[in-house]
A and B are shown apart, each in its own frame.
Chain A
C-alpha cells in the first residue's frame, strides 16, 4: 500500500502550486468582485497543457493521470475556486465523455483542440425541470434526414459562453424515460443554438454560468455521442468523473481557508498573545485539519481507482460529499477565526465561504451523493 505521490505527480504538484500562487491568486479577488471570466489565465493554462492532463498524447493530451488532474483542480481552487471549476467542467464534463464514448472521428475532431485549450468545453444536462431527476428532460432531439433537430433549453451551464463545444443531453423518446435520453455534441455558432441569461451567483463568480437555448438547432447525426438512448449512461458516467473534479475543488477551497487561518491566527494578537496560542483555536483547527486530510485521502483514492480502471462511482460520491461538507465547515469557521476582518473583502476567507457552498450543490447535491453511496450499500 502506498499513499505517496509518484515523482511525476510530485513534480506536477510543484509546478501547479507555483502557477496558482503566481498567476492565479493575484487575480482571484478581482475576478470574484467583477464576475469576470479570467480568459488570460485560461490562455496561460492552455499553454502549459493543463486542459488535457489525462488525455492520451495521440489525441493531443499530456498523457498524465486523474491524480494529476485532481491535484490541478485542488491547487487552483486553493487560491481561486472559479479557476478550478473552469478546468473541472472542461475536463470532466466535456472532454472525458468524448474520450470515453466518442467515435474515432469525434475523438480526432474534438480532443486535440480541447486538450490544447484552443477550445473550451461545457456540458448541458440540467434544465428548469430536470436536475437531480435527469429523466425530466424536456429538451428534445428529433430525427430529420441526416440530422437531428434540437429544441429546448438548459440552465446553470458552467463555461457557457466562452466554451466552443457542448455535450448536451436531449430526450429522443419520452416514453422510454431514462432510456430515451441521447447526448449530442453541439458546437458554438451552430444555427439555432444561443447562449441565454448569465447567472449572478453567491460564489465562483468569475465562472460563466449561463442558459443554453436551442431553437430548431440542426446537428448532424455524426454528432450523436454514444448510442441512441445511451444518454443517461453517458451523463451518469460523466458525473462520476466530474465528482472527482468538484471534490478536488472543495478540497482546495478547504485547504486554502486552512492556510489563511493558520497565517492569520499566528499574526493576530489578543490578550497579549497570538490567538493560535489559545487551546480553543488549536483544538478546532486540529479537528478541521483532520477532516481536510481525510477528505484528501478519499478524493485521491477515487482518482486512483479511476486511473486503475476500477469502479469508483461510490468512492467519487463519498469524496465529493465529504470534501464539500468539509469545505463548508472549514470556510465558515475560517471566517469566525478571522472575526470582523473575515467578514470583509480585505481577507479571502469570506470569498472561500461563498465559493464552498456550490460544492454541496452542483454535480449532484450532497443528498444525491448519499443516494449513490446508499445504492451501493444496499444493492
Chain B
C-alpha cells in the first residue's frame, strides 16, 4: 500500500499572541509545530503501515525551515519526505495551495492520500477536500477511525450527530482528526537517523501548472483585514434552582428578541 500524507508546519497557537494594534500574529519566539490534525493523519498512515505494511511518504509545502516537520515525520516512522518549496508558491490561499499540492501529487503513486482536517493557523478545512477535487478522487473528511479489510477502507467519519461508517476503495483522500489518532512519540533511533535521511526538495518544475495558478497570483481571496475580537462585557451570575433558571433564561431570550 502506498500512502501520501500532506502535512503543514504551523505556529503553535496555544502559545501565540496577537498584536492588539495591528491585529497580526506576534510570531517572535513562537515555536513551529507539525499541525495537530496532520500529525493525526500521519499516525493514521503509520497504524496502517504497522498492521498491513505500507510505504508512507510525507509532503509539505512551505519555506525551507518546514524541513523540521519532515524530520519529525521520519522520527515517527515515515519512509520518504518531500519539501515543496519556492518563491512562486508564497502567499497562497487554500485554492492556490491545493492546486500546487495536487499537481505535485501527480508525480507520485498512491492508494491513499491523507490530509489533516484543518490547520491551526488558518482553520479553513479546505485544502484536503480541494486536493481530492483537483485529482478527481473520492474523499471522506473528519475521519476519526480507520480499518482496512478485503482491499477496502472502513472509515469512521465524525459528524455533528455522531459517526458514519463508510466503506471505500482506494485511491481515496481522507482528512484526519487529531482526536481520532493519538500521535505516537518520535522514537530515539528514528531521531538519531532523521537528519541522515534525504528530503526531496521539489520546486516549481515539479508542478505542471501555469504560474498564474500558484502563490498569491493563483489565490482567489485576499486578506482585507484581521483583528482580534473585542472583550465581551462581564456576564451575570444568578444562583438559582433549575426551575427558576429556566424561567430566567426564557425571559432573557425574549428580552433580546431571540424567541
Contacts and interface: CB of A to CB of B under 8 A. Distances in A.
Interface of A: 7-8, 11-12, 14-15, 18-19, 47-50, 52-53, 57, 61-64, 68
Interface in B133-192: 185-189, 191-192
Contact of B187 (A7, A8, A49): A49
A11, A52, A61, A63: most-surrounded residue (chain B CB, <10 A): A11
Contact of A48 (B68, B188, B193, B194): B188
Contacts of B185: 15, 18-19, 48
Interface string B8-48: 00000000000000000000000000000000000000000
Nearest to A6: B195
Interface string B185-226: 111110111110000000000000000000000000000000
Secondary structure dominating the interface of B: helix
Contacts of B188: 12, 15, 48-50, 52-53, 62, 64, 68
B117 interface: no
A68 B72 CA distance: 16
A363 to B, nearest CB: 23
Interface string B67-79: 0100110010000
Chain A to chain B: the 6 pairs with minimum beta-carbon distance, closest first: A49-B188, A62-B188, A62-B189, A15-B186, A49-B187, A64-B192
Contacts of A19: 185
B185, B187, B191, B194: most-surrounded residue (chain A CB, <10 A): B191
Give the interface residue-count category, chain B: 10 to 19
A50 B71 CA distance: 19
Interface string B58-84: 000000000010011001000000000
B182 to A, nearest CB: 10
B102 to A, nearest CB: 30
8 contacts: A11-B71, A11-B75, A12-B191, A14-B72, A49-B187, A62-B188, A62-B192, A63-B192
Given A7-B195, A8-B194, A8-B195, A63 B189 contact: yes
B189 A11 contact: no
Contacts of B195: 7-8
A11 B194 contact: yes
Contacts of B194: 8, 11
B192 A7 contact: no
B219 to A, nearest CB: 32
A11 B72 contact: yes
Contacts of B191: 8, 11-12, 15, 62, 64
B186 A8 contact: no
Nearest to B75: A11
A14 B192 CA distance: 13
A64 B75 CA distance: 13
A15 B72 CA distance: 9
A18 B193 CA distance: 20
A59 to B, nearest CB: 12
